[in-house]
Chain A
Amino acid sequence: DIQMTQSPSSVSASIGDRVTITCRASQGISSWLAWYQQKPGKAPKLLIYAASSLQSGVPSRFSGSGSGTDFTLTISSLQPEDFATYYCQQANSFPPTFGGGTKVEIK
């Protein structure tokens, strides 16, 4: 199975900050990567797919980049509703696997 490693596991940030989360795959996955946002007690929400494509309805302050093994999710200006846990997921090969999550907390 492909292992997905996210860093950091948590980050404290203030409103308006730029936040960057990284995800590394144990082997190359081309651009077969998604990012999800999950708030407590809620289902995950797809933010980014194919490494850099913004899901419909997702604010443009979210962006994704990378290919191969190294990927990045960037929130350009953190908003109050962005405090949540973020997961990456590879869809290159079976089984689909998720990163361990990055919790974005209020500083």
Chain B
Amino acid sequence: EVQLVETGGGLIQPGGSLRLSCAASGFTVSSNYMSWVRQAPGKGLEWVSVIYSGGSTYYADSVKGRFTISRDNSKNTLYLQMNSLRAEDTAVYYCAREGDGGYASYWGQGTLVTVSS
């Protein structure tokens, strides 16, 4: 069974850093396209970043230069390193496994990041 479990969220001051983890089971992270999608409180969905099976990475303009997506193949885990956090980064962050075509077919339960002083 495919499972994704995000951890690492919490309350952080503006300008701070946080690393989110997404532990996967039932499939191999490195063989799949893996994404992060976020949702600000009461708002819609916003794509954040993707890492392809070959290792290429892409980012939304809103996080480019501040966030880094990576994976640890030995731990079958996806990460999102978030630096220089801003209030507008406050959201629930979901990791997702993409199927053919770039559609997020499996999602984790999400982890809440709150950026506030």
Contact = CB atoms under 8 A, between A and B. Distances in A.
A98 interface: yes
Contacts of A97: 47
A46 interface: yes
A80 interface: no
Contacts of A89: 45, 103-104
A45 B107 contact: yes
Contacts of B47: 95-98
Interface SS of A by simple majority: loop
A101 B99 CA distance: 22
12 contacts: A36-B104, A42-B109, A43-B94, A44-B45, A44-B104, A46-B103, A46-B105, A87-B45, A89-B104, A95-B47, A98-B45, A99-B44
Given A46-B99, A49-B101, 13 more contacts: A32-B102, A43-B108, A44-B37, A49-B105, A91-B101, A91-B103, A94-B58, A95-B47, A96-B47, A96-B102, A97-B47, A98-B47, A101-B44
Interface of B: 37, 44-47, 58, 60-61, 94, 99, 101-105, 107-110
